[in-house]
Amino acid sequence: MNERINKKKVMYHFLNHVTEIVLILVVIALWIATDSFMKLNNWMNLLRSGAIKGLIALGVTMVLICGKIDLSTGSQVGLSGMFVAVFCKNMVAAGYNQTLACLIGMAVGIAFAVVIGLLHAFLQNTYDLPPFVVTLGTQYLMFGLAAIICNNYPIPNAYPNWYVQVGMGRLFGVVPYPVIIFFVAAVLCYFIMEHTTTGRSVYAVGGNQEAARLTGINVFKSKAFVFIAVQILAAIAGFINSAQVNQADWSYGKEWPTDCLSMAIIGGTSMAGGSGTIYGTVVGVVLISVLINGMTILNWNIYLQYIVRGAILIGSLVLMAYRDKYRD
């Protein structure tokens, strides 16, 4: 009996860390197959490319742990960058300081993200509306709003130099600022989810909402926290993305929600709620970034890349099902 239990524990822990194992194997394979993969500059570039979506994936992880989903994050990316560009363009034309205009635009973007997060939590908690449908609706709302604000035209070169440097620059000329921002955000999210009452409440609500309510947990507060957090992280990702390209466009981030969801799931977060870790998502972000970078270096067809990423996502779901079976 004890031997059987020990085998289940070993299998559970193996499946729980399979993403790290796959990452190590992929890195070794690409190291052998290419000359440029292990160069420092290549690693900085691949981490920078994954850091922006990774920010959103951190928020998506918390939403999934709470047993919910948010498909509107992509539209927040385009809209937040648009807010900053519009304020910079119009206020500078009116004679105001560009930095002041930029900061006001960022504040408006963050405030709007908080409002959208609260709206999601309110509609889902009060009327028990499916978060899939609610967030899909607000996604269209924000895409439409962003397109109206810019008259369906991109706004280039509206930002101050320091703002652009956040997206393009590197600390000491080595580490891209988006990578630093991502890892700082990951540490903060990890601390909240693993070492605070707020994080424990999110896990409880995702595991069993009614049981959490009966134990005195404020369910609405937990939902509001995760929905607001993912929207704020999406807004920050939008700022960084617009800084990288020095341009605002309403369509930026349009295809991102599925990518960010994949990063969280590949990192071991269950769509059923109640389980998942920020650490796992960080590993998922790095794995996806390494795969995309490696397949690009190897000059693989983009459609073949989609097949590989899809197969890994499906494989992750299957492995999670087995993992949960061994845990139970």
Expressed as residue numbers, the domain containing 106 is 40-317
Q: Is residue 328 included in any domain, yes or no?
A: no
Q: Is residue 86 included in any domain, yes or no?
A: yes
pLDDT score at 32 = 96
Model confidence pLDDT, tens digit, residues 266-317:
999 999 999 999 999 999 999 999 999 999 999 999 999 999 989 988 988 8
Question: Could you please report the per-residue DSSP string of 112-136?
Answer: HHHHHHHHHHHHHHHH---HHHHHH
How many of the other CB atoms lie within 10 Å of CB of 246? Answer: 16
Task: Give Cβ neighbours of residue 215 (< 8 Å, ≥ 6 apart).
Answer: 204
Q: Taking the model in full, what pTM does it have?
A: 0.95
Q: Is residue 212 included in any domain, yes or no?
A: yes
DSSP 8-state symbol, 39: S
pLDDT score at 318 = 87
CB 181 within 8 A of CB 55: yes
Confidence check: pLDDT of 6 > 90: no
As a whole number, the mean pLDDT across the chain is 94
pLDDT score at 5 = 60
> 305 is written with which tokens?
């890349």
Q: Is residue 4 included in any domain, yes or no?
A: no
Label residue 322 by pLDDT band (50, 70, 90): confident
Give how far Cα 192 sits from Cα of 2, 58, 67, 150, 224, Å: 36, 12, 17, 37, 15
Among residues 220, 219, 234, 228, the alpha carbon closest in space to that of 117 is found at 228
Which percentage of the chain shows pLDDT scores above 70? 97
Out of 78-87, 177-186, 309-318, pick the least confident. 309-318
207-225 mean pLDDT: 97
Confidence check: pLDDT of 2 > 70: no
CB 264 within 8 A of CB 284: yes
pLDDT score at 3 = 60
Label residue 325 by pLDDT band (50, 70, 90): confident
Measure the CA–CA gap between 62 and 54, rounded to whole angstroms: 13
Question: Could you please report the per-residue DSSP string of 169-191?
Answer: -EETTTEEHHHHHHHHHHHHHHH
Q: Is residue 9 included in any domain, yes or no?
A: no
Out of 10-24, 104-118, 305-319, pick the least confident. 10-24
Q: Is residue 313 included in any domain, yes or no?
A: yes
Chain centroid to CA 275: how far?
17
Q: Is residue 14 included in any domain, yes or no?
A: no
Q: Which position has the higher pLDDT, 195 or 315?
A: 195
In CATH, what number is assigned to the domain containing residue 84? Answer: 1.10.3470
Q: Is residue 168 included in any domain, yes or no?
A: yes
Confidence check: pLDDT of 235 > 80: yes
Confidence check: pLDDT of 86 > 70: yes
Label residue 320 by pLDDT band (50, 70, 90): confident
pLDDT score at 4 = 63
147-171 mean pLDDT: 94
pLDDT score at 274 = 93
Label residue 13 by pLDDT band (50, 70, 90): confident
Maximum alpha-carbon separation in the chain: 78
CB 65 within 8 A of CB 204: no
187-211 mean pLDDT: 97
CB 202 within 8 A of CB 63: no
Please tell me the total count of domains within the chain. 1
The conformational region for residue 169 under phi > 0 = left, psi -120 to 50 = alpha, else beta, is: beta
Confidence check: pLDDT of 59 > 70: yes
pLDDT score at 17 = 84
Q: Which position has the higher pLDDT, 38 or 12?
A: 38
